[in-house]
Structure 1
């Protein structure tokens, strides 16, 4: 790698680090629609359309968290998505899966609000 490539890599690395910091700082605000959608879903006795809203809200966090290597938010939000997919595919609402989804979302909320979020550097250089 020559000097120009090295400085370009450093610039990309610093930009990614800044994106990670900004994203982590925005997580409490991004969590609000997730938890609000979940509460509406619970209040409705788990209406399918409201469960889909929970999925959309979680999906918004899951994708960016995975891309930016934000842990454990990426693992928890992906787990929530998988649980919702399973619920949506089932003929009826599985009480155990609903309980697991509620616990997963509560853990996600706790992690974010307690600041237990990590964003290890993204290694684009292999």
Structure 2
């Protein structure tokens, strides 16, 4: 039972982070809280990608010979590279969103979406 929990805790935790972030995006009216929720969703997706790319008892893909005999025992580096790229893109998107929120606050003097004129749903 404990082994099952160890194996599936990353999947469950990442899906939980995604749903907490989705709830925050859909239910909050404060733009800063919405950005924090987007960051939570981004972290959940990154954790899910890392969990999907995990291979138990595998080595780093550093090949020393021309014909490696244990090529199946290597970890696939593609999910790790995708996660690093996703972290950089997510940080840039959140920084841009924060800059837009600051400009909206300067113009409307509020961060509440319901009180801002011109934002119609």
TM-score normalised to structure 2 length: 0.33
Bigger helix share: 1
TM-score normalised to structure 1 length: 0.32
